[in-house]
Chains A and B, each alone.
Chain A
Amino acid sequence: MTAALEISRLGYRVPGGASLVEDLSFTVGIGETLVLLGRSGSGKTTTLKLINRLLEPSAGEVRVAGERAADLPVTRLRRRIGYVIQEIGLFPHFTVERNIGLVPSLEGWPSPRIADRVREMLALVGLDAATFGARYPHELSGGQRQRVGVARALAADPPLLLLDEPFGALDPITRVELQREFQGLEQRLGKGMVFVTHDVREGLLLGTRIGLMQGGRLVFLGTAEEFRASRLPEAVAFRSAADPGPPARG
């Protein structure tokens, strides 16, 4: 079975400037969620943008569901990758329905099929289609908006989902709610996911594996258990930031 995402020796250098991502390799299987953890500026978001070619890699290779990303027309590639960003980026002049149905309509699905799919997606993220379908994004709460963002990313049934701190801008209570629901979704969907966050607890909750980034490199890659046990200084720093605990340890 082909992996949802394979990355080998990926690198990105700003034209005439610094290197932001270096020698990055990992694989995300179907049904697996790789959490990319790291400080601001460690290259997490850049990595996502290299995968959907919002940035063009300067080295290495990306394969999505077995196909070389560089060989596909960029719009086709992106329509096969769900993308959720922290600011959500719902189209403010589109209703919830039209936002969710966007990629299917770009792909030329017939409209009854789009309508069915939109209803299905709204149900999946726990929103009532009759209540919310015709609303505009500004009529929703932050949590509802982010649910619509996830529904929109899933609408065309992409094999791979990229999520860039999707719950970062929410209040703590809503955030925990959405994290729990997302945990349920992950298991049902059977997709490959790359989930970027700087919140360790979120990472450990949602990730089947954790990748820790530092200075544009992947310095750790392993299961949550392995991450908890890791003696790598950056991993220790992240753990102690999440759980200050008693002071004065090693």
Chain B
Amino acid sequence: MDLLRFYARNSQEVVGLVWQHVYLVLISTIVAILIGVPLGIALTRRPAWRGTVLGLANVFQTIPSLALFGFLIPLPFLGGIGARTAIVALVLYALLPIVRNTYTGIVSVDPAVREAGRGMGMTDGQLLRLVELPLSMGVILAGVRVATVVGVGTATIAAAIGAGGLGVYIFRGVATVDNTLILAGALPAALMAIAADGLLGLAERRLAWRRT
């Protein structure tokens, strides 16, 4: 009840924070896809880079999120206080699942299918566009889904460096020992993660080729 009253009284601010949160996750996921999918494809063409690139992406993933925000703040251009730093960090987090799944998805396409395609005179681009990407779409989308769900969670911490989002309520609630305030941020963030998971799961089932 307290929560509903809180939302009613602060509706404008709530909508603003939800929007900020969505914005952080959306922009960072899109940027991560734009970097990660081509990078994953490049790895299938240059397997020698695989260890280095996946290793690096893995390092970013391993750094605790709050620490990563901390590392980025003093950096010129990328860092500072605010949304830009948060987006850079969220992109770095989202990269690993997207690059890894793109690479794995393409590599696990049946070699006989690939050989048939090349043997019939497909160019490398046609093989990628007509065969490899469609057949690995399910695996790639699964990576995007993981990246998005993790992004919704990590974006709550972005409030700590002044990027806004639903984390603002959580941090404020923790500081003032106000459970209603904590819930006001945590509940919609959780719902958002569940919704993103469900939506992208649906897209995955729709777009992925499967033998049923």
Contact = CB atoms under 8 A, between A and B. Distances in A.
Given A76-B121, A106-B126, A89 B115 contact: yes
Contact of B115 (A54, A103, A136): A54
A83 B120 CA distance: 7
Given A88-B112, A89-B110, A92-B113, A75 B123 contact: yes
Contacts of A87: 110, 112
Given A88-B112, A89-B112, A89-B117, A138 B211 contact: yes
A52 B119 contact: yes
Nearest to B113: A89
B40 to A, nearest CB: 19
Interface string A56-86: 0000000000000000001111110001010
A78 B121 contact: yes
A91 B118 contact: no
Contacts of B211: 92, 136, 138
B118 A92 contact: no
A102 B126 CA distance: 11
Nearest to B114: A89
A93 B134 CA distance: 8
A54 B130 CA distance: 19
Nearest to A75: B121
Contacts of A83: 116, 119-120
Nearest to A153: B120
Given A92-B135, A92-B209, A138-B211, A54 B118 contact: yes
Contacts of A92: 110, 113, 135, 209, 211
A90 B116 contact: yes
B106 to A, nearest CB: 14
A103 B112 contact: no
A91 B113 contact: yes
B150 interface: no
A149 to B, nearest CB: 8
The 8 A-B pairs at the shortest CB distance, nearest first, are namely A89-B116, A87-B112, A78-B121, A79-B121, A83-B119, A93-B209, A89-B112, A75-B121
11 contacts: A75-B123, A76-B121, A78-B119, A87-B110, A89-B110, A92-B211, A103-B120, A106-B121, A106-B122, A138-B211, A152-B120
Given A85-B115, A89-B114, A89-B117, 12 more contacts: A52-B119, A54-B119, A77-B121, A79-B120, A83-B116, A85-B116, A91-B116, A91-B130, A91-B131, A93-B135, A106-B120, A138-B211
